[in-house]
């Protein structure tokens, strides 16, 4: 099948060299039963790629079962994957097939494979190697014949090095690896994909899209797209529905761009020019310059507030009241007095909040305290970016890479955490 026909049939958008390499590799492996590992940021189209591989395979007439491993609670993921027998646990009122049984003769797509618990990884390795597994609460061996496609937005090898992912399972999954590039890495695809989405939504909502200005076009291309194709589709839909029959200029488009527009610029603010246009003299401090300085100050204030909030939440969730008070004054001064005051009140009145105080024998490891002291307990005040990066690393380390718990500890949303991981290169 011709590459362009293949892309059109399975919705693999883009004609950049990077995308053509991806499509060629997909076409190579699709008709085999080889295990495929898809790697890429959130929103790059890993699910669409998995559907394309299954649709072009010899198993296309059987089920494609899609499983988001990161969305299944740890306590029930084994039952969801492998099924259970009646009475296996409280609430198991009847026997139930797991996803591997439902995918028999077909394909199973294990998204966010890096989030699976280690006890489940052992069972995954066995079913990948022999097709054998046990239902929860049963000693009878079950068999299944499935083609496995796995996906992750994490670096699995780093997880292996950290000890949170089994090395033998990594090698079993990493038979063929396909890296799906981020949208910002293939800028030539942005406008064609955007136009395709606009046409699709214009037809769906019976709307007219009158186009966009050159400035808006440049912003579309230069924007970082932290949500990748998923975010681009969302912006196209919003413009078609909310800006019906309007010509889209840069200011109108800017309202719908939620993430950072380039390294160092704040959310929803216009991009600061990176090249000297030569049109203004050095001493020509005009209205535009004042506006940029004002926006930079607003950005700095917001970033400082975010870091203080994250730092306060991190101390609150990690240390006891006495541990916090024992930290050097230079450390405590990094957080506003009212934040620490609130923390001390909360920690001193846990019972009023329905919390239990920390027993004396459950001491915080000295290593954790020393890391905070080492980072903040000296005369050199770290930058906002360094502090934010440090807190994110500590929170992820504390919860063994669990991003949901880390974001809750830091007092930010999971989406914000993913964006900051990308910003600081912590994927």
At 113-155, the pLDDT tens digits run 999 999 999 999 999 999 999 999 988 999 999 999 999 999 9
The answer on pLDDT for 307 being more than 70 is no
User: pLDDT per residue over 334-360, tens digit each?
Assistant: 444 444 444 444 444 443 333 344 444
Q: How far is CA 382 from the centre of its chain?
A: 26
User: What is the average per-residue pLDDT within 293-311?
Assistant: 60
CATH tag, 184-254: 1.10.8.60
Q: What is the pLDDT of residue 384?
A: 72
Give the Å distances, CA to CA, from 284 to 233, 263, 270, 280. 41, 26, 21, 6
Question: What is the average pLDDT score of the chain?
Answer: 79
H helical segments located in 354-413: 366-376, 384-398, 403-410
Tell me the three state secondary structure of residue 110. Answer: strand
Q: Point out the least confidently predicted range of 30-44, 164-178, 196-210, 408-422.
A: 408-422
CATH number of 3-181: 3.40.50.300
Is the pLDDT confidence value at 376 over 60?
no
Output the pLDDT for position 278: 44
Q: Is the pTM value of this prediction over 0.75?
A: no
CATH 3.40.50.300 in the chain is located at 3-181
Residues of the chain with CATH 1.10.8.60: 184-254
Q: Given this model, what pLDDT does residue 336 score?
A: 46
Stretch 89-111: mean pLDDT, rounded? 92
| 8-state DSSP, 381 | P
């Amino acid at each position: 099948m011709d590459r362009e026909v293949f892309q059109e049939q399975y919705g693999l958008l883009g004609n950049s060299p990077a995308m053509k390499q991806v499509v060629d590799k997909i076409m190579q492996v699709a008709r085999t039963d080889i295990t495929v590992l898809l790697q890429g940021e959130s929103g790059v189209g890993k699910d669409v790629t998995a559907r394309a591989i299954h649709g072009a395979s010899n198993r296309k007439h059987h089920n494609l079962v899609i499983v988001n491993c990161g969305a299944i609670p740890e306590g029930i993921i084994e039952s969801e994957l492998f099924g259970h027998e009646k009475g296996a646990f409280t609430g198991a009122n009847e026997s139930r097939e797991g996803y591997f049984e439902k995918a028999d003769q077909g394909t199973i797509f294990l998204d966010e494979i890096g989030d699976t618990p280690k006890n489940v990884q052992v069972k995954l390795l066995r079913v990948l190697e022999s097709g054998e597994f046990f239902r929860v609460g049963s000693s009878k061996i079950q068999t299944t014949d499935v083609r496995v496609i796995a996906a992750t937005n994490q670096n699995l090898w780093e997880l292996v090095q950290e000890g949170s992912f089994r090395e033998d399972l990594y090698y079993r999954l990493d038979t063929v690896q396909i890296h799906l590039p981020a949208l910002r890495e293939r800028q030539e695809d942005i406008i064609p994909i955007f136009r395709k989405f606009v046409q699709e939504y214009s037809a769906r909502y019976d709307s007219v899209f009158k186009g966009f200005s050159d400035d808006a076009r440049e912003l579309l291309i230069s924007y970082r797209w932290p949500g990748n194709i998923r975010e681009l589709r969302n912006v196209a839909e919003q413009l078609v529905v909310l800006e019906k029959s309007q010509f889209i200029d840069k200011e109108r488009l800017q309202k719908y761009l939620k993430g950072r527009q380039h390294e160092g610029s704040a959310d929803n603010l216009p991009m600061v020019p990176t090249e000297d246009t030569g049109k203004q003299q050095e001493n020509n401090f005009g209205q535009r310059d004042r506006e940029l300085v004002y926006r930079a100050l607003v950005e700095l204030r917001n970033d400082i507030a975010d870091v203080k909030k994250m730092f306060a939440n991190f101390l609150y969730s990690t240390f006891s009241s006495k541990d916090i008070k024992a930290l050097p004054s230079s450390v405590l001064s990094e957080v506003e007095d009212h934040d620490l005051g609130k923390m001390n009140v909360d920690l001193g009145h846990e019972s009023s909040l329905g919390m239990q105080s920390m027993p004396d024998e459950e001491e915080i490891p000295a290593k954790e305290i020393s890391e905070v002291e080492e980072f903040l307990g000296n005369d050199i005040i770290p930058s906002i970016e360094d502090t934010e990066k440090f807190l994110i690393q500590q929170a992820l380390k504390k919860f063994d890479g669990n991003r949901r718990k880390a974001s809750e500890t830091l007092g930010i949303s999971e989406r914000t955490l993913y964006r900051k991981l990308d910003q600081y290169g912590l994927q």
